[in-house]
């Protein structure tokens, strides 16, 4: 199937955040695709406050099933979370479990004034009551497919669809 | 494969941490990389993550230890596990219960992990072979055999200050003979690709055929410390000493104690490490222990992150 161009989605997502995101917010990207996206949005929107990054591996709900992810990256929140308006950024919104983990992690840094969510693709399939305030596009995708953001060497973003490998 | 490493399952996945000997560099580096992420957690206001919520971790200390037990306890609590400290030196064993009976009883209480300190080499191996396959064992020091988490936190500290292992000269100084720390350090350093590992000690405090571990042996501090990047001091283990090995602590300090004068022979940016507890004025001079090149207190801080990494990797590696 023909996937939309991630670069175009990025532009439209940036536009939505610019018009409805208010003034005083900070971006927090979720590793790995969400961080790439957040870096680009950070640039695109000309935000001066530093960008935060989260690796939610320590907060996931499937640790007992699949163990620790093989490459956990440090979370870095270089600003005061207490009282901040935070826009969480992730590449693909699916079950909502990653976002649940990210919200829990953010609260261990402090009590934000608000958290909203920006995602490039909302592919449905929610298992938790979570919704994105800023969406690049909504796509219906078969459940056995994985959608992932890729970054080329020149920094260009693209979407990638592949078969989900089920564990033996 | 008949002589499989007892720490790994048939797929090479880490199930227990008993020794650094025979572990591939990929596993050591995975632990160090994971620990990097935990350093961030330990610097936050809320120093706790929910990863091991509901897990029961038993600290089985058959030999007294304050620091190691405490750092394991803090690490487990920061992972939200329930920690039960058993000071067995003064409980069941004094009533005559055997080691494996103690372990059976605690397993029946639904333990998920045992952290074992024992005066006998091989105690943690024995427990690891004996327990159900879903229980993980961490060796927190067995006799003069191994102390893998100490060695890993030392590797973490070295990497933090020196970045790369492949161009380093490292000297381990002092009572190598009785030191489980030294053995675990040597295996970890050579596996991670440190090209030159030196041991500096009097003949009486060196194990026989120590060269077979791939180290260079020095009996003279001045020669051994020349141009090294890392100086790893060891504690003089008075309690394991039977007199004949050592004339007196003062004599030892004179020849093998680390003073500013001796440290000046190492590279100018050399770091000084010590696993603690320190005997000031015996193996290390206060001016060095508290000096600019000392990373002894960072070692303690990193030790918590490294133990968090080991525990969460093991707990996640279910069969």
Please tell me the pTM assigned to this model.
0.90
The reported pLDDT for the residue numbered B91 is 60
How close does chain A come to B112, measured CA to CA in Å? 12
Residue keyed to tokens 């890993």: B152
Taking the C-alpha atoms of residue B319 and residue B314, their distance in angstroms, rounded to an integer, is: 11
H or E segment and range at residue A35: helix A33-44
**What Å distances lie between residue A55 and A27, A102, B145, CA to CA?**
14, 8, 37
Residue keyed to tokens 């990025």: A10
Chain A CB within 8 Å of residue B34 CB: yes
CB < 8 Å to B40, chain A: 74-76
The reported pLDDT for the residue numbered B92 is 57
Is A10 a residue whose pLDDT tops 80?
yes
Is A43 a residue whose pLDDT tops 90?
yes
CB < 8 Å to A63, chain B: 51, 315-316
How close does chain B come to A98, measured CA to CA in Å? 14
Chain A CB within 8 Å of residue B26 CB: no
ipTM for the predicted complex comes to: 0.80
Q: What percent of chain A has pLDDT over 70?
A: 98
Exposure of A21 by Cβ count < 10 A (0-12 exposed, 13-18 middle, 19+ buried)?
buried
The reported pLDDT for the residue numbered A166 is 55
More confident residue, A68 or A130: A130
CB < 8 Å to A105, chain B: 49
CB < 8 Å to A57, chain B: 37
Interchain contact, B46 vs A109, CB within 8 Å: yes
CB < 8 Å to B51, chain A: 58-59, 63, 68
Interchain contact, B34 vs A58, CB within 8 Å: no
Distance of CA B277 to the CA centre of its chain: 13
State in Å, rounded, how far the first CA of chain B is from the last one: 19
Contact A32, A54 (CB under 8 A): no
Interchain contact, B316 vs A108, CB within 8 Å: no
C-alpha closest to that of B79 among B118, B51, B55: B51
Contact B229, B268 (CB under 8 A): no
Mutation target among A68, A76, A80, A109 for the B interface, most CBs of B within 10 A: A68
H or E segment and range at residue A121: strand A114-122
Q: Which of A71, A76, A110 sits opposite B40 (nearest CB)?
A: A76
**A55-69, A104-118, B93-107: which has the minimum mean pLDDT?**
B93-107
* Cα-based torsion angle of the residue sequence B153, B159, B161, B162 in order, rounded to the nearest 10 degrees: 140
Average pLDDT, chain A: 93
The reported pLDDT for the residue numbered B93 is 60
CB < 8 Å to B44, chain A: 108-109
Interchain contact, B313 vs A67, CB within 8 Å: yes
Interchain contact, B318 vs A64, CB within 8 Å: yes
Q: What percent of chain A has pLDDT over 90?
A: 80
Taking the C-alpha atoms of residue A21 and residue A116, their distance in angstroms, rounded to an integer, is: 9
The pLDDT tens digits along chain B (319 residues) read 456 789 999 889 999 999 999 999 999 999 999 999 999 898 888 899 999 999 999 999 998 888 899 999 999 999 999 999 988 876 656 666 788 898 999 999 999 999 999 999 999 999 999 999 999 999 999 999 999 999 999 999 999 999 999 999 999 999 999 999 999 999 999 999 999 999 999 999 999 999 999 999 999 999 999 999 999 999 987 765 656 667 788 888 999 999 999 999 999 999 999 999 999 999 999 999 999 999 999 999 999 999 999 999 999 987 5
Interchain contact, B40 vs A74, CB within 8 Å: yes
Exposure of B291 by Cβ count < 10 A (0-12 exposed, 13-18 middle, 19+ buried)?
middle
Q: Provide the token pair at A4.
A: 């939309």
Mutation target among B37, B46, B136, B306 for the A interface, most CBs of A within 10 A: B37
**What Å distances lie between residue B100 and B9, B124, B125, B132, B314, CA to CA?**
22, 11, 12, 12, 22
The reported pLDDT for the residue numbered B143 is 92
The reported pLDDT for the residue numbered B90 is 62
How close does chain A come to B281, measured CA to CA in Å? 39
Predicted confidence (pLDDT) per residue in A124-139, tens digit: 999 999 999 999 999 9
Alpha helices in chain B (DSSP H): 25-42, 67-78, 99-107, 123-130, 148-162, 180-191, 221-224, 249-256, 260-263, 286-289, 296-316
Q: Which positions 212-231 of B are in contact with A (Cβ < 8 Å)?
A: none
């Amino acid at each position: 199937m023909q996937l939309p161009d991630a670069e175009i989605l990025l532009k439209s997502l940036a536009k939505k955040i610019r018009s409805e995101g208010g003034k005083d917010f900070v971006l927090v990207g979720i590793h790995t695709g969400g961080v790439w996206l957040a870096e680009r949005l950070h640039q695109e929107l000309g935000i001066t406050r530093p960008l935060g990054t989260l690796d939610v591996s320590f907060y996931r709900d499937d640790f007992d099933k699949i163990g620790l992810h093989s490459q956990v990256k440090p979370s870095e929140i270089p600003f005061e979370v207490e009282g901040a308006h935070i826009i969480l950024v992730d590449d693909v919104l699916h079950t909502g479990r990653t976002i649940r983990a990210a919200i829990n992690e953010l609260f261990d840094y402090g009590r934000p004034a608000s958290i909203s969510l920006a995602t490039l693709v909302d592919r449905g399939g929610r298992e938790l009551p979570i919704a994105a305030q800023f969406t690049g596009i909504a796509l219906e995708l078969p459940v056995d497919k994985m959608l992932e953001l890729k970054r080329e060497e020149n920094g260009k973003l693209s979407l990638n669809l592949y078969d989900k490998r089920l564990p033996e | 494969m008949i002589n499989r490493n007892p720490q790994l399952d048939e797929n090479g996945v880490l199930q227990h941490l008993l020794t650094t000997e025979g572990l591939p560099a990929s596993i050591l580096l995975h632990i160090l990389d994971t620990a990097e992420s935990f350093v961030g957690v330990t610097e936050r206001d809320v120093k706790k993550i929910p990863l091991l919520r509901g897990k029961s971790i038993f600290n089985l200390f058959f030999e007294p230890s304050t620091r190691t037990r405490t750092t394991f306890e803090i690490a487990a609590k920061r992972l939200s596990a329930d920690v039960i400290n058993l000071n067995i030196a003064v409980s069941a064993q004094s009533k005559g219960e055997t080691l494996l009976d103690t372990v059976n009883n605690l397993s029946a209480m639904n333990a998920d992990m045992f952290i074992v300190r024992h005066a006998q080499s091989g105690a943690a191996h024995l427990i690891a072979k004996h327990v159900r396959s879903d229980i993980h064992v961490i060796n927190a020091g067995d006799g003069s055999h191994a102390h893998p988490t100490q060695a890993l936190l030392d590797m973490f500290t070295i990497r933090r200050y020196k970045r790369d292992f492949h161009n380093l000269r490292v000297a381990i100084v002092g009572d190598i003979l009785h030191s489980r720390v030294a053995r675990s350090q040597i295996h970890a350093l050579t596996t991670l690709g440190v090209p030159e590992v030196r041991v500096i000690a009097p003949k009486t405090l060196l194990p026989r055929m120590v060269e077979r571990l791939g180290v260079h042996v020095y009996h003279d501090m001045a020669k051994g410390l020349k141009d090294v990047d890392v100086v790893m001091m060891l504690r003089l283990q008075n309690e394991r000493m039977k007199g004949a090995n050592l004339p007196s602590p003062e004599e030892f300090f004179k020849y093998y104690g680390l003073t500013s004068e001796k440290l000046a022979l190492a590279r100018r940016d050399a770091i000084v490490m010590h696993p603690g507890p320190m005997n000031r004025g015996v193996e290390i001079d206060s001016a060095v222990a508290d000096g600019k090149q000392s990373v002894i207190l960072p070692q303690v801080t990193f030790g918590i992150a490294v133990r968090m990494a080991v525990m969460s990797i093991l707990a996640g590696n279910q069969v």
